[in-house]
A and B are shown apart, each in its own frame.
Chain A
């Protein structure tokens, strides 16, 4: 019955979330404590699952109807993603306790936050396409109110846009699902793919639609539009996880579809791969460029996410072991970096009331610790050694060269570097001005706006990890290498 373990994070999340949301807590401290315990327990169970010696823990949960089974299985990918998700979920949650005190509606927020966390963990363990789809949709529906939280007109419109894009994307994947199921495939997740025969033209189209559908969540062109709308209006912890974690659920969907259902060998060299690569490269450049041109801080970060998550998709689209390694590493590193950036942005906006990059002069002097974190993760995101994203980008670029796909071979690294340059362009001036305001600049912030320890602790932890993992990534590297070995 060790398989039941996989349900624990979900059960914990849902019951914990209901408890937070429905119990009329007298004061916020016990509620926060309770939520923190639930988050920590989720992480603990996830760790337990990851450390269980039993390979591929499996838990069939019956069938909805003939052929539509619900199945959970903890394979290497699921373990890696769930560990990352629940770790980040805990840290952002702790930071959120402090942040949401200004924002209000804490019970509502954390109730849903716990539920989404539970659903996400379960989604990582989904053992076939149908289960993943169900959990993915549940995640969309439960995470939508996080965007909606402030209930302003913009927030409602943004939440609807988020819902619209996510559901629209999911329907695209559903088309592929119906097609394959009607042809007698069961779409179980197996390393290297579970389809029985070579792909027909119709099936290739379906695969592209499935990729596009999940990529909507990951913000890939042409379905990236919800990110810059939803992020600025969501509360900081929500935009942090939206960008750092939930986009990765889209990545996981793509990864499962391509590497566990279709199989990389069936896709290699097809027009679908070409289109996919082209879309990721367009997104990488476009996201960075728009971030460079954007002045609203949180929107800039959102565009940055558009670009960075497509680094991951680019790595996946090459169907090459080196690039795959880079993509998985970038999932981890970008998650740490972007959560830090969004939490810091939230702290800046809450502390100083400044929402635009051009107003951030001198912010480093009133919130030095936060801005140091921003500085270090910025350097990481640009990919300057010895920080972590340099390593992932190294794998991505050399994987691209090694893939030997026509122009992409060298165009890929060139676009990665151009985007890195733009990343430097949209992050470094911000940090430099924050620490070194222009002489005689007016309207500099004054006083001490440093957030409290509950916010700083997660920031510092994630920053330290994002830098140090670049210098020494031992176990992570082993895990990723094992994963790559499994698939190639």
Chain B
């Protein structure tokens, strides 16, 4: 089959700074096909779904922009190209997510965008580092360069892990990996159902694409990296499963289920590195679960979309019983549920079995003393660890069965609490267009088709894709329906049945007053990473702390500088200059205020001015005479006694000042002479 697939690559060096490069090979062709299939199917449904919404043009534009970008990611031949398209995809898909513009949608969209932007930036840091260390970002180049770095010095290894961690951050966020999964359960329920199908089915896979590149090309066969990814994957799949069981909203359940399934895929990616040259099962399981999960989520979200389109409700108690009399919808949903639940004869079983077997294989390897053990664990302890991971994997499989049962029973088996509503639900009539029905039926056919003929279909797809991941073909075809393999699947089913009967029914439903049970939202509202940690940290704590710091810097630089230059320095210099300017004057001023005080203008005749007094009186008498005779109309009002007294004061003062100045000059002369004398004496 591989021979049939042409491998071709294109490089466009002039574009986007570093140049873009694309490649077509089995894996890329497979995912290009899956992407196109998903887009066509969901678009066929979108026409009917969006019939009553506005802004259709906007939706279609950004939907197909997202399509192009997603194709770009899957067809890229280097991480730079992948990143360029990844960012376009993130932004374009945002517009599809917030389509209905409701407040809750905008908040969820905000979280989606924030995670995408932050993730993008951190990934970019990783790309900077990788590019700096290896000088290339092409996948082939990276594989060679990173392989030698991994065997290089401790420092090289450390920087490679830092770079890988940064790249993982962004792509992992898109893949719903813990602890960056927060956007996933928020964004999916609020997006239009066809967009949710794409978001969940294929856009998250572009994040997985990055993880695959990291695993296969940056850290090929590196145990430490593998273990990190396995642990992150395990937490993701468990948390997703638990959240899905608690959810009382059909689309939220499906979203959390996506997270859980993506966790399984991530675990499989980690196993590829742990298993190194024995990675056949892990590689094939990962790829097949990616393909299968896309088809499950397409089917399930479209089915949920039909319900939402008719009822505009998502809450389980409200949509309860809606599908009882709708055989097509029931079958379609059942097919999706059985597929995702990993029930034998449906496609999910095959991929889950492969993933499960890859963990089992590693446990076997550890028992035989091979395999990577973290350096601190003995082979036996590591085997116990992975035995635990294996059981957690089966438990997650069980949870899948349990929450899908919960959904199926609720919508298609139970009756609504309100008989009137149930009657309305049961009323025969068209609930979707024939086109939608055909789309639903077609998408649901994939699960049994693949599940029944795993060797003819799924195995070939795996053959096609494994080259990209440097996977090795298994020594012999896997006997999917052997007892050993069925055991794992059936264990999960058993766990699922137990979880449903012993946990979901009794603990997550409450008895209603009118008999019967209602679904209860038992997940504590506060227990949410966003409200607990991320929002306070990124929108309050950090911006406020750093904001004040920067404000302080600004005040120092701007305010203080301006103050320094416009006030302090001029004032200080002014003071100095004024002092210099007034140095001489100030001596005079000082003297005038102390020893040489000026006299006030006399208002009454001071004592002792005899001359002035007599002459003044005579002049006053003369003036009085004149006033009475010649100057009747213009009398002289001047008091000559005062005027003459003033004259006398001024002249006295002038005499004293001249005397004082002479004294001052003499003083200065004396001082100067003294100085000259001292100098002469010293000099001679």
Which residues of A are at the interface with B, using a C-beta cutoff of 8 A? 161, 164, 168, 221-225, 282, 285-286, 289-290, 292-293, 379, 382, 384-386, 390-391, 394-395, 397-398, 401-402, 410, 413-414, 417-418, 420-421, 424-425, 428, 432, 436, 438-439, 470-474
CB within 8 Å of A: which of B542-567?
A: 543, 546-547, 549-551, 553-554, 556-559, 561-562, 565-566
Would A385 and B16 count as touching, CB distance under 8 A?
A: yes
Q: Given the interface contacts A290-B551, A401-B132, A428-B113, does A391 sit within 8 Å of B16 by beta carbon?
A: yes
Q: Indicate if the CB atoms of B546 and A386 lie closer than 8 Å.
A: no
Q: CA A235 – CA B131 in complex, angstroms?
A: 44
CB-nearest residue of chain A to B109? A432
A339 to chain B, nearest CB (A): 22
Q: Report the bound CA distance from A439 to B102 in whole Å.
A: 7
Task: Verify A225–B558 contact, CB threshold 8 A.
Answer: yes
The interface residues of chain A lying within 8 Å CB-to-CB of B543 are 289, 292-293, 425
Measured between beta carbons, the chain A residues less than 8 angstroms from B121 are 417-418, 420-421
Asked whether, in the complex, the Cβ of A397 is within 8 Å of the Cβ of B16, the reply is: no
Closest Cβ of chain A to B190, distance in Å, is: 13
- A417 near B124 (CB under 8 angstroms)? yes
21 CB < 8 A contacts A-B: A161-B562, A164-B565, A222-B557, A225-B554, A225-B557, A225-B558, A289-B549, A293-B550, A384-B120, A390-B17, A390-B84, A394-B128, A397-B124, A397-B128, A398-B128, A398-B131, A402-B132, A410-B129, A436-B98, A438-B103, A474-B14
Evaluate contact between B101 and A436: CB separation under 8 angstroms: yes
7 A-B pairs closest in CB distance: A225-B558, A391-B17, A222-B557, A401-B132, A385-B84, A289-B550, A286-B550
Can you add 20 more A-B contacts, CB < 8 Å, to A225-B557, A290-B550, A474-B14? A224-B554, A225-B559, A285-B550, A286-B550, A290-B551, A293-B543, A379-B91, A385-B83, A391-B18, A394-B18, A394-B128, A397-B128, A401-B128, A417-B122, A420-B121, A436-B98, A438-B106, A471-B16, A472-B15, A473-B17
In the bound complex, what is the Cα–Cα distance between A183 and B482 (angstroms)?
91
Q: Is the pair A394, B17 in contact by a Cβ cutoff of 8 Å?
A: yes
A436 to B62, CA, bound (A): 15
Contact of A224 among B87, B558, B565 (CB under 8 A): B558
**B125 contacts A282, CB within 8 Å?**
no
A470 to B20, CA, bound (A): 12
- CB 8 Å contact bits of B352-392 with A (1 = contact, 0 = none): 00000000000000000000000000000000000000000
Measured between beta carbons, the chain A residues less than 8 angstroms from B113 are 428, 432
B118 with A421: CB separation less than 8 A: yes
Measured as residues with beta carbon below 8 angstroms from the partner, the interface class of chain B is 35 or more
Q: Which residues of B sit under 8 angstroms from A292, Cβ to Cβ?
A: 543, 547
Interface assignment of B520: CB less than 8 Å from any CB of chain A:
no
B334 contacts A by Cβ under 8 Å? no
CA distance A293 to B553 in the complex (A): 14
Give CA–CA (A364, B566) in the complex, Å.
Answer: 43
Q: Kindly list chain B residues whose C-beta atoms are within 8 Å of the C-beta of A470.
A: 16-17
- In the assembled complex, the CB of B75 is this many whole angstroms from the nearest CB of chain A, namely 15
- CB pair A282 B553 closer than 8 Å: yes
Please give the distance in Å from A365's CB to the nearest CB on chain B. Answer: 11
Which residues of chain B come closer than 8 Å to A394, judged between CB atoms? 17-18, 128
Q: Dominant SS at the B interface?
A: helix
Residue of B nearest to A287 (CB): B550
B residues 79-120 touching A (CB-CB < 8 Å): 83-84, 87-88, 91, 98, 101-103, 106, 110, 113, 117-118, 120
B546 touches A289 (CB 8 A): yes
Q: Which residues of chain A have C-beta atoms less than 8 A from B125's C-beta? A: 397, 413-414, 417
- Give Cα A164 to B554, complex, Å: 17
Residues of A close to B91: CB separation below 8 A:
379, 384
Interface residues of B (CB under 8 A from A): 14-18, 83-84, 87-88, 91, 98, 101-103, 106, 110, 113, 117-118, 120-122, 124-125, 128-129, 131-132, 543, 546-547, 549-551, 553-554, 556-559, 561-562, 565-566
Q: What is the distance, in angstroms, from A152's C-beta to the closest C-beta of chain B?
A: 20
Contacts of B110 in A (CB 8 A): 432
The docked-state distance in angstroms from the alpha carbon of A292 to that of B542 is 12
Chain A neighbourhood of B17, CB < 8 A: 390-391, 394-395, 470, 473
Smallest CB gap from B12: residue in A = A472
Instruction: Tell me the minimal C-beta distance from B99 to chain A in angstroms.
Output: 10
Interface of A is mostly: helix
The docked-state distance in angstroms from the alpha carbon of A86 to that of B117 is 35
Taking the closest CB of chain A, its distance from the CB of B510, in whole angstroms, is 33
Contact A386 B558 (CB under 8 A): no
- A439 B547 Cβ-Cβ under 8 A: no
Report how far A425 CA is from B551 CA in the complex, Å.
17
A356 to B551, CA, bound (A): 19
A428 to B112, CA, bound (A): 13
Q: Is the CB of A401 within 8 A of B16?
A: no
Q: Which A residues are in CB contact (< 8 Å) with B106?
A: 432, 436, 438
B121: nearest chain-A partner, CB-CB: A417
What is the CB-to-nearest-CB distance from B39 to chain A, in angstroms, rounded to a whole number? 21
Chain B residues, Cβ within 8 Å of A282: 553
Chain A residue numbers with a CB within 8 Å of B559 are 225
Instruction: Decide: A439 and B561 in contact? CB cutoff 8 A.
Output: no
Given the complex of chains A and B, what is the CA–CA distance between A432 and B91 in angstroms? 12
User: Are the C-beta atoms of B117 and A421 separated by less than 8 Å?
Assistant: yes
Task: Give chain A nearest CB distance to B90 CB in angstroms.
Answer: 8
- Bound together, the chains give a CA A384 to CA B129 distance in angstroms of 18
Residues of A within 8 A of B122 (CB): 417
Q: Inside 8 A of A432's CB, which chain B residues have their CB?
A: 106, 110, 113
B558 x A385 contact (CB < 8 A) = no
Give the nearest-CB partner of A470 in chain B. Answer: B16
Inter-chain CA distance A286–B125, complex, in Å, is 20
Q: Report the minimal beta-carbon distance from A100 to chain B, rounded to whole angstroms.
A: 29
Q: Are A385 and B14 in contact (CB under 8 A)?
A: no
Chain A nearest Cβ from B607, distance in angstroms: 61
With contacts A285-B550, A292-B543 taken as known, whether A398 is within 8 angstroms of B132 at the C-beta atoms is yes
A170 to B: closest C-beta gap in Å: 14
CB distance from A433 to the nearest CB of B (A): 9
* Chain A positions within 8 Å of B551 at CB level: 290, 293
Closest-by-CB residue of B relative to A437 is B101
Which residues of A have CB within 8 Å of B558? 222, 224-225
Interchain CA distance A395-B118 in the complex, whole Å: 20
* Distance, CA A438 to CA B101, complexed state (A): 8
Tell me the bound Cα distance from A173 to B554 in angstroms.
23
B128 pairs with A413, CB closer than 8 A: yes
Q: Which B residues are CB-close (under 8 A) to A425?
A: 543
Q: How far is the CA of A341 from the CA of B103 in the complex (A)?
A: 28
CA separation between A225 and B125, bound complex, in Å? Answer: 31
User: Which residue on A lies nearest to B83, using beta carbons?
Assistant: A385
Q: Once the chains are docked, how many angstroms separate the CA of A410 from the CA of B125?
A: 9
Do B550 and A225 have beta carbons less than 8 Å apart?
A: no
Residue from the set A168, A293, A379, A395 with the largest chain B CB neighbour count within 10 Å: A293
Q: How far is the CA of A474 from the CA of B15 in the complex (A)?
A: 8
Nearest residue, chain B, Cβ from A227: B558
| Cβ contacts under 8 Å, B550 to chain A | 285-286, 289-290, 293
Residue of B nearest to A221 (CB): B557
Q: What is the chain B residue whose CB lies nearest that of A291?
A: B550
Q: Which residues of B contact A418 (CB under 8 A)?
A: 121
- Closest-by-CB residue of B relative to A473 is B17
Distance in angstroms between the alpha carbons of A439 and B129 in the assembled complex: 43
Residues on the A chain within 8 Å of B553, using CB: 221, 282, 286
Q: Are B88 and A386 in contact (CB under 8 A)?
A: yes
Chain A residues within 8 Å of B103, by CB:
438-439
A428 touches B117 (CB 8 A): yes
Chain B residues, CB < 8 A from A386? 15-16, 84, 88
Flag if B128 contacts A225 (CB, 8 Å). Answer: no
Query: How many Å from the CB of A79 to the closest CB on chain B?
Result: 22
Asked if A223 and B546 make an inter-chain contact with CB atoms under 8 angstroms apart, the answer reads no
CA distance A472 to B18 in the complex (A): 10
B-chain residues with CB within 8 Å of residue A439 when the two chains form the complex: 101-103
* Complex CA distance for A371 and B16, rounded to whole angstroms: 25
Given contacts A413-B125, A439-B101, whether A286 and B554 have CB atoms under 8 Å apart is: yes
| A225 and B556 form a contact (CB under 8 A) | no
